[in-house]
A and B are shown apart, each in its own frame.
Chain A
Amino acid sequence: MTALSCQPAHAYSIKDGCEEGAYRGNNVQYVFSSDSRWNSSSNSGWNGATPKQVAASGFGVWALARNRDATPIVKMSATAQTGSRAVSVRLVGYPGGDPFLLGAFSCDSGVNVLELNEIMIESYPSSTEFYETATHEMGHGISLHHTGSTDSHVPYDTPLMSPTGSGIFYGLDDAAVVSHHYAIGANDTFTANYGFENGLDWYTWSGAPVTLTTGSTSGGVYHATVVPNSSGDNLNQSVAVMNATGRWVRPSMQYVTPGATSGGVRLQLYQRDVKYEYDNSAENQNLKFPLRDRNMDVRTSGVVESAYYVVRSESFPISNSWRTALTSQHQIPPILDSSSRVAGGVDLRLRVFSTASVAGEYIHVHYDDVRIQEG
């Protein structure tokens, strides 16, 4: 079972019984059990909120991530009916059980897998912990794995899908695992907020500021616009990828360089080799993409084995209309050390550059759908 917050790490692998990406393209429906405690508004310190309200608000977090067409990547809705696409949520007090377990997601590999999924939440933690637990376990309910222990983009904050932390923040790592499992398109993506529908969150840039511009290549609301100061200015995002040996990845994006007469744009993928320590338990053995601890190299669980190096670097011509840039594939090499509690992994960093110019002056360039995609 998966645990969160004030509890020991109970090992449970989502992969053991749950269908990965089971809800792709579907609304995720959940139904609360008939337990009357769901509707109680008398919990001390909860400011009148009922457990049902608290849990539902947590479940709704997963609908924050946006596809590049601005639609929610995951659609969450409560339902009164149990059914093949409903997750049942019930309150349990763990009588005779482990009193420290605040939450668990159980998954049965029976005839009707999805109908038998259940989230169990210990009844009386604080509302914060209840919120964290409900959200975290629903993350498992929609097939998400654990992230690293701290958020990649905001170091020292704890993602919702951290295996041991008490996270209430929906961060890069959470968004990235949602993107990876659910994003629209033929290819999974490692990149969070690749359509900029969550603003400029989770991107870093150097030089001139990137701005958010209305309009998109695919029915979305936004894209990113920048005028570089120098050729080295770039928009970038980094992700950690663990146990993905043999996977093929490549950067891609949409871009337009209106009015440019020379120069071009460049997509680059950098990699550094990292060994990620992991708990040698069932919980994490199947962990595939605990998306990055940006600070892994100052943390306990990752050991950086090399500096970053270029693995893909391709340039693309100026264009007055939106155009696709897609590099050749890069295979993540085997970096395994099966003899120890170390998992092979890499940090991947996507960089986007522009030298599009008019009369020697760099001009606005527009980017959308900037991603590291699989395959």
Chain B
Amino acid sequence: MRRLEPQLVAIVVMVVAAACGRGADSAAAEVGTACPATSGHGRAIALSMLLQSGDGSAGTPSWLRVRKQSQLTREGSPEGSSRQKVRLTAAESVAGAPAAQEESVVLFAGAADEAASELGRGSSVVIVRPVSAASVARVVASVRSDGSVAFLGECAFRHLTTPYDKFVAKRHADGDSRTAAELFYGLAKERALVDDLRASEGVPRATPVPWEARRAQERVIDPDGANPPPAATMADLRSHLVHFAYPEAWRSFDGSIVTYVPDVGWNAALPLSLDSDDPAVQAYASLTKPLEVWVVPAPADISQPLARLAVIDPASLAGADEVYLYAQVEATSRDDLVRQAKAGAVAFKPGPPRG
């Protein structure tokens, strides 16, 4: 989708060589020396965040390595901005993701300048693919023949190189003998390393497991979210409004209804207490697999599914658009509903649209 950008950026931003230090011939340790040193607390987090900015499909960064100056050519500055589109030729994928023979990537112009310079002195340049081709690649690194790593671009020394060096130092202190470059490439492949990096930055939380690596029981089907199912998975799914009709007494139950597509994941939940004359939830159903209906603790604790209430044959959904599911049992409490379901009762069945 189109995005707004500052209208007058063109006259403004075009910078590339200024305060935060760059320069075609600055050595790695000097890159960014004009960018004032700081504790970098806020930006220190940026490295581990940015290292997740690969293609996103597997939660593993997709990095491209350029080894020769001739492999990196400029294609111009999009919209006259501070961005520089470059074309990579004979690019090599670091993380095992497919690498095109030719590929265009947008860099900040400063990073592009420094990348050209670094290639000129025999270093490899590694670029983390941005999440979309139109986005700017934020992580551009020079990997030197001595095994050192320097991040390129405005303020990159402070924001990326400095925290990364601290991370490497800690790894070495912990007995890891790998060079900065080896650890860098390892970050592309080892989730644990990214977690370590985050920990070294004081980030308390572990990274989530990517879609493919999660068990279906832990997945949420949310193509609009941060961890969407792969396109191949979505191709078998169709979006429905699923209406539920159940006794008024169930509104007092501490539970929610959630639909589940086996081997795929969970849809959004519908709290039984929802104040609605026509409780309905948007849900994805498979064209080939059944749609299961579960009750979970409210409001949406899919980590503790309590009982399966129904299994809807995909054939019964074929041709249907809105789906109507009607309660088949009487229950006095959530626990009673769970008990009946575990005893084999089918709690919901599809039916015709409500009049």
- In the bound complex, residues from chain A placing their C-beta under 8 Å from that of B276 are 312-314
Contact between A57 and B8, CB atoms less than 8 A apart: yes
Contact between A300 and B205, CB atoms less than 8 A apart: yes
Contact between B6 and A61, CB atoms less than 8 A apart: yes
Whether, in the assembled complex, A373 has its beta carbon less than 8 Å from a beta carbon of chain B, the answer is no
Q: Which of B198, B269, B302 contacts A300 (CB 8 A)?
A: B198
- In the bound complex, residues from chain B placing their C-beta under 8 Å from that of A5 are 155
For residues 306 through 364 of chain A, which have their beta carbon under 8 Å from a beta carbon of chain B? Answer: 306-315, 328, 349, 351, 353, 355
Q: A7's closest neighbor in chain B, by CB?
A: B38
Q: What is the CB-to-nearest-CB distance from B127 to chain A, in angstroms, rounded to a whole number?
A: 14
Q: In the complex, how many residues of chain A place their beta carbon closer than 8 angstroms to a beta carbon of chain B? A: 90
Contact between B45 and A355, CB atoms less than 8 A apart: no
Q: What is the CB-to-nearest-CB distance from A149 to chain B, in angstroms, rounded to a whole number?
A: 8
- In the bound complex, residues from chain B placing their C-beta under 8 Å from that of A207 are 239
For residues 150 through 173 of chain A, which have their beta carbon under 8 Å from a beta carbon of chain B? Answer: 150, 153-157, 163-166, 168-171
Whether, in the assembled complex, A270 has its beta carbon less than 8 Å from a beta carbon of chain B, the answer is yes
Contact between A308 and B300, CB atoms less than 8 A apart: yes
Interface string of B311-343 (1 = CB under 8 A from A): 000000000011000000000000000000000
For residues 261 through 305 of chain A, which have their beta carbon under 8 Å from a beta carbon of chain B? Answer: 266, 268, 270-273, 277, 279, 294-300, 303
- In the bound complex, residues from chain A placing their C-beta under 8 Å from that of B8 are 53, 57, 60
Whether, in the assembled complex, B13 has its beta carbon less than 8 Å from a beta carbon of chain A, the answer is yes
Interface string of A196-231 (1 = CB under 8 A from B): 001111111011000000000000000000000011
**Stretch from A78-86, A105-113, A123-131 contacting the other chain:** A123-131
Q: What is the CB-to-nearest-CB distance from A329 to chain B, in angstroms, rounded to a whole number?
A: 10
Spell out B's residues near A (CB within 8 Å). 1-9, 11-20, 35-43, 45-46, 48-50, 52-53, 56, 59, 82, 130-131, 135-136, 138, 154-155, 158, 198, 203-205, 207-208, 220, 222-227, 238-241, 256, 258, 266, 268-271, 274-276, 278-284, 298-302, 321-322
The 3 closest A-B pairs by CB, nearest first: A232-B239, A164-B42, A57-B8
Spell out A's residues near B (CB within 8 Å). 5-9, 44-47, 49, 53-54, 57-58, 60-61, 64, 99-100, 124-129, 131, 135, 149-150, 153-157, 163-166, 168-171, 175, 198-204, 206-207, 230-234, 236, 238, 266, 268, 270-273, 277, 279, 294-300, 303, 306-315, 328, 349, 351, 353, 355
